[in-house]
Structure 1
Amino acid sequence: MHLSLRYQNEASQVVFEHKSPAQEKARDGIPFLAQPLGVAEPPTGKHSRWADIIWDDKLRVKQRGALLKEVVKGNFDDLNATRHHGGKMWIAPPALIRENKARYFPDIEGTSLATSEKTYTTDILLKKVSLVSILSSKISEIQTHMFTEPTCTQYSGDRHFQHLKINLQENKMRSVLVSFFASSIRKTMPKEQWPFYMISSQNMDYIRDDIGLRNKFIGYVFLVDDKCRIRWAGCADPQPAEIQALRTCTGNLLKRLK
Structure 2
Amino acid sequence: MRSALASLRPTRVAARQSYRLRWMSTSPPSPDAPVTPDIESKEKGKEKAQATAEPSPNNTKTAKADDTLPLLQRPLGIREKPKARVKTWSDTKEKFLDRDKQLEERTHLAREATRGYFYDLNATRRHGGKTWIAPKVMIREDKALYFPDIHGTALAGSEEKIHTTNLLKDKVSVVALLTTRISEIQTAQFLEPTLQAFSSNPLFQFVQINLQDNLLKSFLVSLFASGIRKTVPESLWPTYMVSSQNMEYLRQPLGIANKHIGYVYLVDPNLKIRWAACADPKAEEVSALKTCTTVLLDRLSKQQEPPAEPASNSPPPQGTSPQTTAP
TM range (shorter): 0.7 to 0.9
**1:40 and 2:50 correspond:** no
How far the C-alpha of 1:192 sits from its partner, in A, is 2.2
* Aligned partner (choices 114, 138, 151) of residue 96 of structure 1: 138
Letter in 2 for 1:103: L
Paired AA for residue 45 in structure 1: A
1:3 corresponds to which residue?
Answer: none
Task: Please give the secondary structure, in 2, of the residue aligned with 1:210.
Answer: coil
Q: Tell me, yes or no, if structure 1 residue 80 matches structure 2 residue 119.
A: no
Matched residue type, 2:294: G
Distance across 2 between alignment mates of 1:221 and 1:49: 29
CA shift, 1:76, in A, is 1.0
Letter in 2 for 1:183: S
Equivalenced residues, count: 233
Q: Which amino acid aligns with 2:154?
A: S
Deviation at 1:47, TM superposition (A): 3.8
RMSD: 1.7
Deviation sequence 1:178-211 (CA, Å, 0-9, x none): 1111110011122221111111111112222111
Residue 44 of structure 1 aligns to a residue whose secondary structure is coil
Query: Unmatched 5+ residue regions in structure 1?
Result: 1-25
Letter in 2 for 1:69: R
Distance 1:231 1:118, change over 3 A: same
Query: Is residue 62–residue 206 contact of structure 1 (8 Å, CA) maintained in 2?
Result: no
How far is 1:117 from its partner?
1.2
C-alpha separation in 2, matches of 1:49 and 1:142: 36
Mapping 1:163-182, distance limit 5 Å: 163-182=206-225
Q: Distance in 2 between matches of 1:257 and 1:226?
A: 8
Separation in 2 of the partners of 1:49 and 1:66?
Answer: 21
- Structure 2 partner of 1:59: 101
Runs of 4+ in 1 over 6 A off after TM superposition: none
Q: 2:69 aligns with which of 10, 30, 54?
A: 30
Q: Percent of counterpart pairs with the same letter?
A: 53
**Distance in 1, Cα, partners of 2:276 & 2:193:** 16
Q: Name 1:186's counterpart in structure 2.
A: 229
1:214 deviation in Å? 1.8
Report the TM-score when normalising by structure 1: 0.85
Partner residue in 1 for 2:49: none
- Distance change >3 Å, CA 207–CA 50, structure 1 → 2: farther
Unmatched 5+ residue regions in structure 2? 1-64, 302-327
1:201-243, CA deviations, whole angstroms, 9 ceiling, x for partnerless residues? 1111222211111211010000000000000000001100000
**Aligned positions of 1:1-258 closer than 5 A:** 28-48=67-87, 51-56=90-95, 57=98, 58-114=100-156, 115-258=158-301
